[in-house]
Amino acid sequence: MMGITELTDQAATERITSRSRFVWRLAVAPLRIVVGVVSAAFRTGIAVGRFPVRVGAAASKRLGAVGTVCLVVGVVVGLLVAPMSGRQLRERLRLTLSGGGGDADRGPMGPPAVPDEVLAGHHGALPGE
């Protein structure tokens, strides 16, 4: 049989270990929260990153090889013959939406823009002359 002193010593030891566990968990809690948030962010990023790949794979499967190649060629040709760069288009849209650009008689986009590179590079003579 255990004596009363042995029982109180055992209870005191259990209290100390439970307190030390609590203090340890309290001290480590911020680190566990940060690791959990970062882990959730990575998992969300992976899921979001997979979505366009899955959609693209499903679309190319439906279109077939020839349809996919034609789509890519069409995008490339469209980018090559675009009247302005994406940066210039975004700037023009921003000005138009903020009310700083476009005449009422010319429509919302205004007159066609001549890129600064063309104006700066033109010296009166064509190359090769």
In the chain, where the domains are located? 7-64
What is the chain's pLDDT, residue by residue, as a tens digit (129 residues)? 555 666 677 777 777 777 788 888 888 899 999 999 999 999 999 988 898 888 888 888 888 888 888 888 998 898 888 888 888 888 888 888 887 655 544 555 555 566 666 555 555 555 554
Give the alpha-carbon dihedral of 71, 76, 78, 84, to 10 degrees: 150
64, HSE (Cβ side, Cα atoms, 13 Å):
2
Question: Global pTM?
Answer: 0.36
Burial class (CB in 10 A: 0-12, 13-18, 19+), 49: exposed
